[in-house]
Amino acid sequence: MRPGPPVTDAPAGHAPFAIWNRSGNRLIAVLLRSPLHPLMRGLTLITVTGRRTGAQHTLPVAYQQNGEKLSIPVMWPERKLWWRNLRDGAAVRLRLRGAERTGQATAQVDDQGAVTVEVILDPRG
Residues 6+ apart with CB under 8 A from 49: 55, 56, 57, 85, 90, 91
* Positions of E strands within the chain: 43-49, 56-62, 64-66, 69-74, 90-96, 99-109, 115-121
The answer, yes or no, to whether residue 104 has pLDDT greater than 70, is yes
Q: What is the pLDDT of residue 100?
A: 92
Amino acid at 66: N
Nearby residues of 80 by Cβ (< 8 Å), 6 or more positions away: 74
14-121: CATH topology is Pnp Oxidase; Chain A (2.30.110)
Residue 117: its pLDDT value, please? Answer: 97
CB neighbours (10 Å) of residue 118?
Answer: 16
Give the containing element (helix H, strand E) for 26. helix 14-33
Q: What is the pLDDT of residue 33?
A: 76
Mean pLDDT throughout 4-31? Answer: 62
* Longest Cα separation, the chain: 47
pLDDT of residue 111: 93
| pLDDT above 90 (res 85) | yes
Q: Mind listing the pLDDT tens digit for each residue in 25-63?
A: 777 777 777 776 776 778 999 999 998 899 999 999 999
pLDDT value for 95: 92
Residue pair 70/107 in contact by the 8 Å Cβ criterion: no
Supply the mean pLDDT for the chain. Answer: 83
Residue 18 has pLDDT above 50, yes or no: yes
Asked if residue 93 has pLDDT above 50, the reply is yes
CA 22 to chain centre: 15
